[in-house]
Amino acid sequence: MIRHRAHAAVAAVAAVTALALAGCGGDDVAPASAEGSPEAAAADDAGGGEETTLTVSLFGTFGYDEAGLFDQYEEENPNITIEYETTQGEDTYWPALLTKLNAGSGAADIQGIEVARIRTATTELADRWVDLSQTAAAEQLDDYTQAKLDAATTDDGRVIGLGTDIGPTGICYRTDLLEEAGLPTDPAELADAMGSWEDYLELGRQYQASGASGAWTDSAGGLYNAIISTEQEIYYDEAGELVYDTNPAVREAFDLAATAADDDLTAKLAQFEDPEWNPGFGNGAFATIACPSWMIGYIKGQAGEAGSGSWGVTSLPGGAAGNWGGAYLGVPASSENQEEAVRLAMWLTAPEQQEKVFAVGGNFPSNTTAIDAVAGTTDEYFSGAPIGEIFGEIAKNAPAQILGPDDGILKNEITNALLTVEVNDVSPDDAWTSAQRAVDNQLG
């Protein structure tokens, strides 16, 4: 899907202009005003600059289009036209981007980078990106959480991405379905009933026994990702060694998710892939779902207005803090519009825009100023839940995860193996062995 906007005849001094103008010059990309004058750059942005079309390619829902930010940017920068496309599945998006980066052509001016790919982007692909520490974006880097910035920094200090969101994770649930099953619907009461992941599964058994419609949760893969999101060390250790098959936390998370599958507590709907997964948010196919903050907007989009007031959100079992997902914006070195692309990426990830995206889609800010600003946010769609407080508290306590170059492959192969437990009745042990074999085949 390509979004193309005509220029808007509105002259204004954009926030991005101010940010960019205050920035430092660099080797790869010139500062916002080549003349060094804020007034000169403002005049350029007000319509005196060269007409430029910026392409933006993302995956899933970053919330920029939904929050009207592309339109706003075009209105405030009449010389800029933005062409935007998104690929729903990151698993499809990333291989295509790799091909373009390796070819040195075909990539958009701004590309999204999922957190599970950031280690690859900062190691094997480091020279395929603009070093943002040498651009106007340099002064903005300290505004992101330290873990977010560190993950996007190469070993020699290059910064290849600006943080968009982070993924503090809770549990979202259908209040009407839990009430039908006689289970707690108040967030605090439900949290009290879930002292552990085993308690969460036991509630699922009670739910199934009640005869309430649908399954307890959507998928074993989603459950696995939520459980493992609470760990600091997952697939790699601090030395960068692959440890997924010796890390007990990975196997324990896998076994818990497989138990849910074996006990028919899942709807067997592979997230983002099964065509019945999206309708499931509205038709009651599942009562609960692991819920990174970005899932808030996704639920609203899929369940629609009919779902408003029928959803709630609470913390993970045991009050555990997890982080699942999050992303960056990077500017490929092949971009012919690097200076303008950096300006747009800065603006999209600035506090004011991150606040707007959180309000629309639930994508939790990675900018520390924005994190403070959204602390009091409540959401009537989720029964008035204080989502700013809930996700903010989780974000404070979530571990700074160790990321590796092939986190995305490992996560996918493990969740694929869990799907075979759900759909094909493969035993958990055999599924685990299959996951190991698949990982070996891909990583050598």
What type of residue sits at position 343?
Answer: R
For residue 324, give the 3-state DSSP assignment. strand
In the Cβ-directed half-sphere of 332, how many Cα atoms lie within 13 Å? 24
For residue 96, give the 3-state DSSP assignment. helix
Q: What are phi and psi of 53, to 5 degrees?
A: -105, 120
Residue 6, both tokens: 């005509």
The pLDDT value given to residue 26? 32
Burial of 164-185, coded b for 16+ CB within 10 Å and e otherwise, reads: bbbbbbbbbbbbbbbebbebbb
The pLDDT value given to residue 60? 87
pLDDT tens-digit map of 326-343: 999 999 999 999 999 999
Cα torsion for 321, 365, 33, 122, to the nearest 10°? Answer: 40
The pLDDT value given to residue 23? 29
Q: Using CB atoms within 10 Å of the CB of residue 306, give its burial: 0 to 12 exposed, 13 to 18 middle, 19+ buried.
A: exposed
220-228 vs 248-262: helix crossing angle, rounded to 10: 150
The residue ranges of DSSP E strands in 60-161, in sequence order, are 80-87, 110-114
The span from the CA of 287 to the CA of 289, in Å, is 7
The pLDDT value given to residue 133? 97
Q: Which residues contact 198 (CB under 8 A, 6 or more apart)?
A: 256
CA-CA-CA-CA torsion sign (283, 166, 199, 385): negative
First CA to last CA across the chain, in angstroms? 36
Instruction: Per residue of the chain (444 residues), give pLDDT as tens.
Output: 444 333 332 222 222 222 222 222 233 333 333 333 333 444 444 445 689 999 999 998 899 999 999 999 999 999 999 999 999 888 899 999 999 999 999 999 999 999 989 999 999 999 999 999 999 999 999 999 888 999 999 999 999 999 999 999 999 999 999 999 999 999 999 999 999 999 999 999 999 999 999 999 999 999 999 999 999 999 999 999 999 999 999 999 999 999 999 999 999 999 988 999 999 999 999 999 999 999 998 999 999 999 999 999 999 999 999 999 899 999 999 999 999 999 999 999 999 999 999 998 889 999 999 999 999 999 999 999 999 999 999 998 888 899 998 998 999 999 999 999 999 999 999 999 999 999 999 987
Residue 211, both tokens: 């005869």
Cβ atoms of residues 335 and 109 within 8 Å: yes
Q: Using CB atoms within 10 Å of the CB of residue 248, give its burial: 0 to 12 exposed, 13 to 18 middle, 19+ buried.
A: exposed
Q: Which residues contact 181 (CB under 8 A, 6 or more apart)?
A: 206, 207, 210, 212, 287
Cβ atoms of residues 153 and 159 within 8 Å: yes
